[in-house]
Structure 1
Amino acid sequence: MVIAVDAHKLAYMALPKAGCSSVKEALARLDPSVNLPAEKDVTLYTWHDIYPTARFRPHRFEEFGDYWRFCVVRDPIKRLLSVYTNRVLQFGDLRNSIKLRDGRDWLPNVPREPSPDEFFQNLEVYKQAASSVKHHAIEAWLFVGRDLNAYNKVYKTEDLGRLAYDLSLLTRQHVDMPRRNTSETKLSIDDLDGKTIDAIRPFLEGEYDFLSEFYENPLGPRRHASCAMPIRRVS
């Protein structure tokens, strides 16, 4: 589903855990077709109810060829780690998982309140156990498409201020870009065990390859599991 503001001919493809709550709010406040609730009734979910996030569909995207099309991407490590700090710790998606609670036979026995290492070493299991985890922890191209050259502009989450400025120019309205749904707990790649990094390395390598124009992969070459792994701190 393309998030379109027809009045201003804007088209946005949302990537989960890449500033989409902030961008959706900014667009909703610009969109004259949106009936906003009273401010006292606004929650984080308001923006996602107005503009649901959906996977990329080429034929849908092509319908907006004369719109100003944009997306926002995020450093793959930070995006993946935020699945744990935000969805697992902050929102309790695994504590609330019916599949984990009921002990489905086809699911391996994993903790409902895992440590970061337990979570990422069993990420594929947790993606099966909670659809929200899967939604936030799958490849970026599934939401923004494989060809980033199809966009008028691709922003990094570090550049949301620039996005607000550009939207102001395009709409001739003042645009705020408040930071929404930020994780309350911070987690670094340095906090993970070497085996955990090896478990998520294939996913991250694919993500960094896809976003190589925007982010450099900070992980060194893969080494034997028994060896210490050099890790450059992610700032």
Structure 2
Amino acid sequence: MQSKTTADVYKKHLRRRLENNQLRPLEAADKAKFRIEDFGLATEILSAAYEKEKKGVFLERLGQIQINLGNDVLARSLMRDAFQTFGTCHITNIILSEIAATVAIVDDEKKLLYIPMPKCGSSTVKNYFTQAMFGEAYGELVHFRHPEIYRVVYPEDLKTRYADYMKFCVVRDPVSRVASYFLTNVAGGSLRREVSGENTFLGLRTNPGPLEVSKDFELFRSTFMDFRHHTDAMSSYVREMLPDMDRVYSISELHEVKELLEDKYSVSIPDQKSMVGSSDKEKTSATQKAFESTQEFYAEDYKVFGEFLK
């Protein structure tokens, strides 16, 4: 974070660029938040933008600021407003809102419903779907392709609208999942990218080591949205829905998911390049050991999915 004098100069510069339409509100708010950690200015920018143009993303960003400030109740309220007003928002914010809903890939023709969870082979399975449905796989970019196949789903939907659909998800040992996120995303610069290239944010380094992250696990969750998204408990993705799921696959059973989709779509799906995690067994083992302390945080996952994690 910059000195007060430098920050004041930057703040004036930021306001001027915003007034001259040289910056979009979201970009200006990010600069205020990450460059000079001025949450008041960021809130002012986002609130003004929402008054001009009612968009859920502005409420979600305001909610993230409140998470950063430790105001969880207000953050939850803003996320609820975003979801209930606009019908959707980022899945991690739906989870934070404590509304019983999730986001799924749904194919009405083939009667398939898949609930993706980060670091549980979701990139691979999404590519299986796009390959089967559209004849193309996109690697990690698959998360940003074909938004039309995603749908907000509620627990009661599984009993009614989707009662005769094949409903499934894929799960993974929670410690292995967090270690995969660290090795693939955090070590790959995801936190630094989130904060516009800054080396630190709210006192946390954006290129931390595994022990550093493990020690301040919940602090990292409240500081970085990317971290929160990838470390939300798997059970929170299927809140109140698990009894109506037809199949819970282990990540070691991705080949069975591939076979299911090949059968449903009557196509042959090429094997995808592994996107499950690091191939360096020694590094993976050491990282998993560092994150063993998160087992308590994931107690519900172990309780709910225990039989599928073996």
SS in 1 for 2:167: strand
Greater displacement, 154-163 / 170-179: 170-179
* Greater share of residues in helix: 2
2:120 aligned residue (18, 21, 41): 18
How many equivalent residue pairs? 203
TM-score (norm 1): 0.73
Whether 2:126 is the aligned partner of 1:30: answer no
Query: Which structure ranks higher in relative contact order (CA pairs < 8 Å, sequence separation ≥ 6)?
Result: 1
Residue 25 of structure 1 deviates from its aligned partner by 0.8
TM-score (norm 2): 0.57
**CA contact 1:24–1:48 (8 Å) conserved in 2:** no
Change (3 A) 1:180 1:59: farther
Query: Which residue matches 2:264?
Result: 170
Change (3 A) 1:54 1:45: farther
Change (3 A) 1:201 1:3: same
Q: Which amino acid in structure 2 is aligned with residue 64 of structure 1? A: Y
Residue 172 of structure 1 deviates from its aligned partner by 2.6
**CA contact 2:179–2:287 (8 Å) conserved in 1:** no
Change (3 A) 1:141 1:102: same
Alignment of 1:150-161 (within 5 A): 150-161=244-255
**CA contact 2:105–2:151 (8 Å) conserved in 1:** no
C-alpha distance in structure 1 between counterparts of 2:212 and 2:175, whole Å: 17
C-alpha distance in structure 1 between counterparts of 2:152 and 2:234, whole Å: 10
Q: Which amino acid in structure 2 is aligned with residue 89 of structure 1? A: A
Change (3 A) 1:201 1:74: closer
Alignment of 1:127-206 (within 5 A): 127-184=221-278, 186-188=283-285, 192=289, 197-198=292-293, 200-206=294-300
Change (3 A) 1:211 1:134: same
Change (3 A) 1:59 1:35: farther
**CA contact 1:18–1:79 (8 Å) conserved in 2:** yes
Residue 35 of structure 1 deviates from its aligned partner by 8.2
Whether 2:151 is the aligned partner of 1:49: answer no
SS in 2 for 1:209: helix
2:184 aligned residue (86, 90, 96): 86
Query: Which residue matches 2:303?
Result: 209
C-alpha distance in structure 1 between counterparts of 2:114 and 2:269, whole Å: 16
Query: Which residue matches 1:69?
Result: 167
5+ residue gaps, structure 1: 217-235
Change (3 A) 1:167 1:103: closer
5+ residue gaps, structure 2: 1-102
SS in 2 for 1:181: coil
Query: Which residue matches 1:230?
Result: none
C-alpha distance in structure 2 between counterparts of 1:89 and 1:4, whole Å: 33
Superposed CA RMSD in Å reads 2.9
Residue 76 of structure 1 deviates from its aligned partner by 1.5
Residue 56 of structure 1 deviates from its aligned partner by 6.2
Greater displacement, 147-156 / 20-29: 147-156
Q: Deviations over 1:72-108 (max 9, x none)?
A: 1111111111121111012x1222232893866xx4x
1:95 aligned residue (192, 203, 206): 192
**CA contact 2:194–2:226 (8 Å) conserved in 1:** no
Change (3 A) 1:4 1:177: farther
SS in 2 for 1:64: coil
Residue 120 of structure 1 deviates from its aligned partner by 1.4
C-alpha distance in structure 2 between counterparts of 1:120 and 1:53, whole Å: 33
Q: Percent identity?
A: 23
> Highest CA radius of gyration, 1 or 2?
2
SS in 1 for 2:295: helix
